[in-house]
Structure formats: structure tokens, C-alpha cells
Chain A
């Protein structure tokens, strides 16, 4: 149930973002913090955590291809972990939705 706490949710969002395209740390921070309530600085520890777990890798892009800087991308392991985490999360959300709606129905 590691997708339930804030840390896990942030990691899931980071993985999801990176599953679409490689990004720089700042862009990830900027994007996620617009949508979910975490401090801007919390994204970087999350990135490092995922990198240490082998889910992300980094590379340096020079001026030639897009914006220069250190880019994060998913590893194969990261892709698999993302799919698994997403599945777990969506299942959980569905279950909780059922519980919540069930309790709504009980009242009526």
C-alpha cells in the first residue's frame, strides 16, 4: 500500500509523467506541484529515491536536442514498476470509491 501515503503518490505521479516523456528535475517539480499539494523541494528527494531503486536513470542533454540539462528517464524496471503501482493504485481507488458510494447509499 505504498501508493497510499504522500510519498508514494508523488512517486507514482513522477513515474507517470516520465512514462510519457523524459524530463528535467525542474520540469517535473513544476508540473507535479501545480497539480498536487507537495512542496516544490520534495520532488527532488523522490527522484533520487526512484533513481536509487533503479527505476530511473539520468543523462545530460546538450543544446542540440531540446532544452539542455540533466534529464530523467524511466528504466525498463521503472516501466514495469509504474504499471504495477498504477494497477494497485487504481484498484485501491475503485475499492474506496465503492465503499464511499456504498455508505452514501446506506444513508438514503
Chain B
């Protein structure tokens, strides 16, 4: 076998065995040929001494499975990890449900805001207040809706990232590969991060301002600190 033939066959075999960084390996064998050729050996001699490409490639392939299995308890590990995965899945489902609840709250807040601003009194649920104040409270609710939505988005991204981290951890343990563990924080693009930050800070500011302004105006217009009694909200 010539050098080219040997390297070609080795490349093919490595590919067949799904060995990573095959170029790196081929590089080592190329060098081996180069050094031995410089020492005056023929390509055929060198190839023969290296060992059959199939055998060599198989040795690269066995590095993972066999060694990890030899460390023992792989089956036990898989069972333990599966049990852990069930618990993790339940916990994450709970977390996801909370995220959905946040979105739902945001929706409720938005509908309330629109109803207040538009003067729609759905099923008589909205208590009496002068329209000007309803408008301000409407803005307050809308801002709160934006805040909740942005919060829910961030929260769910966080949970998603946590799931990814967990999955990577499981994979690393099972395969014995050492993929770097992922960061715990959700990885947003700079643009998304900027937008989220703007949405959260502005909505919070508008919410606070509208809430205070609405309350103060309601107190002035009703002539009492506890304006809800004057307007008979809870009767």
C-alpha cells in the first residue's frame, strides 16, 4: 500500500466509525510517513508496520464505549439518570406552567387596560370612576401587561436555558464526552437584551407613574383618601 492509499483508506475508515477530528489524526499519520520516509523506509514498509487502516480506525472508535463501560455501572448510571430526568421533567413542567400563568396574567392586565381606556364595562366588572381616571388606570394596566409579558419572556428563556444545561449535563455523563457545560443565564442577542431591558424599565416606570397619578387624582376627585369607599366599589 502506498502512502496515499493508506491515508485514503484510513480517512474512509475513520469516517465510517464516526471519529471526530479525523483531520488531526490523519495529520499524525502523514507525519509518521514523512519521518519514516526521511529515515529511508519505503511507503509499503511503513504502511505495513503501521497496521491495517481498519484495525487502527477501530482502535480510535473503541476509545469511548469500551473505556467508559469498563469504568462500570453504566447501566446503573443510565437508570439513575433516567429517574433524575423524570423528576427534572416534572419540575420543569411546573416552571413552564408558571411562565404560562405569567403570560395569562399579562393578557388579563392588557384586556383590563383596554376596557378601562375604551370605556367598555365587560359584565359590569369594572367599578365606577370618572373617565379621566379610568384612562390613567388603563395606561397603568397596559404598562403592567407589557412588564409581565417581558418578564414572562425572560423567565421562560431562563427555564429553557436551564433545560438545555440539564440536557447537556446528561449527555456528557452518558457519552463520557467532555462538552463544555453551558452558562446558566439565557443567551440573548445584544439586540434582544436591549429591547427586553427597555421594555421592562419603561413599562415599570410608566406603571408606577400612572398608578401613583391615578390614585392621587382619584383621591382628589372623590375627596377622600380611601376613594373606593366613596365610589362604593366593594358594596
Out of B29, B55, B56, B67, which one reaches A49, CB within 8 Å?
Answer: B67
B56–A45 CB distance below 8 A:
yes
A66 at the interface (CB under 8 A from B): no
| Complex alpha-carbon distance, A33 and B46, angstroms | 13
- Interface with B: A35-43, A81-89, A93-101, which one? A35-43
B194 at the interface (CB under 8 A from A): no
A44 proximity list for chain B (CB < 8 A): 25, 28-29, 32, 56
Q: How far is the CB of A70 from chain B (nearest CB, A)?
A: 8
| Complex alpha-carbon distance, A2 and B68, angstroms | 13
In this complex, how many residues of chain B approach chain A with their Cβ under 8 Å: the count is 19
Which residues of chain B from 24 to 49 have any CB-CB distance to chain A below 8 Å in the complex?
25, 28-29, 31-32, 35, 46, 49
A23 at the interface (CB under 8 A from B): no
A29 proximity list for chain B (CB < 8 A): 32
Residue of B nearest to A47 (CB): B28
Which residues of chain B from 43 to 96 have any CB-CB distance to chain A below 8 Å in the complex?
46, 49-51, 55-56, 59-60, 63-64, 67, 70
A25 proximity list for chain B (CB < 8 A): 28, 31-32
A45 proximity list for chain B (CB < 8 A): 56, 59-60, 63
* B contact patch SS: helix
B64 proximity list for chain A (CB < 8 A): 52
A49 proximity list for chain B (CB < 8 A): 63, 67
Out of A2, A42, A46, A54, which one reaches B70, CB within 8 Å?
Answer: A2
B63 proximity list for chain A (CB < 8 A): 45, 48-49, 52
Residue of B nearest to A30 (CB): B35
Q: How far is the CB of B59 from chain A (nearest CB, A)?
A: 4
Given contacts A29-B32, A48-B60, A69-B31, contact A41 B70 (CB under 8 A): no
A41–B50 CB distance below 8 A:
yes
Out of A30, A33, A53, which one reaches B67, CB within 8 Å?
Answer: A53
A42 proximity list for chain B (CB < 8 A): 51, 56, 59
Number of contact residues on A: which range applies?
20 to 34
A26 at the interface (CB under 8 A from B): yes
A26 proximity list for chain B (CB < 8 A): 28, 31-32, 35
Residue of B nearest to A38 (CB): B51
Given contacts A44-B28, A45-B56, A49-B63, contact A39 B50 (CB under 8 A): yes
Given contacts A48-B60, A49-B67, A69-B31, contact A41 B25 (CB under 8 A): no
Q: How far is the CB of B133 from chain A (nearest CB, A)?
A: 68
Bitwise interface map of A from 47 to 73 toward B, beta carbon under 8 Å scored 1, else 0: 011001110000000000000011000
- Please give the residue numbers on chain A whose beta carbons come within 8 Å of chain B beta carbons, in ascending order: 2, 24-26, 29-30, 33, 39-42, 44-46, 48-49, 52-54, 69-70
Shortest beta-carbon contacts, A-B, top 4: A39-B51, A41-B50, A45-B59, A41-B51
- Please give the residue numbers on chain B whose beta carbons come within 8 Å of chain A beta carbons, in ascending order: 25, 28-29, 31-32, 35, 46, 49-51, 55-56, 59-60, 63-64, 67, 70, 178
Known: A33-B49, A41-B51, A49-B63. 17 other contacts (CB 8 A): A2-B70, A24-B31, A25-B28, A25-B32, A26-B31, A26-B35, A40-B32, A40-B50, A41-B32, A41-B55, A42-B51, A44-B29, A45-B56, A45-B60, A49-B67, A52-B63, A70-B28
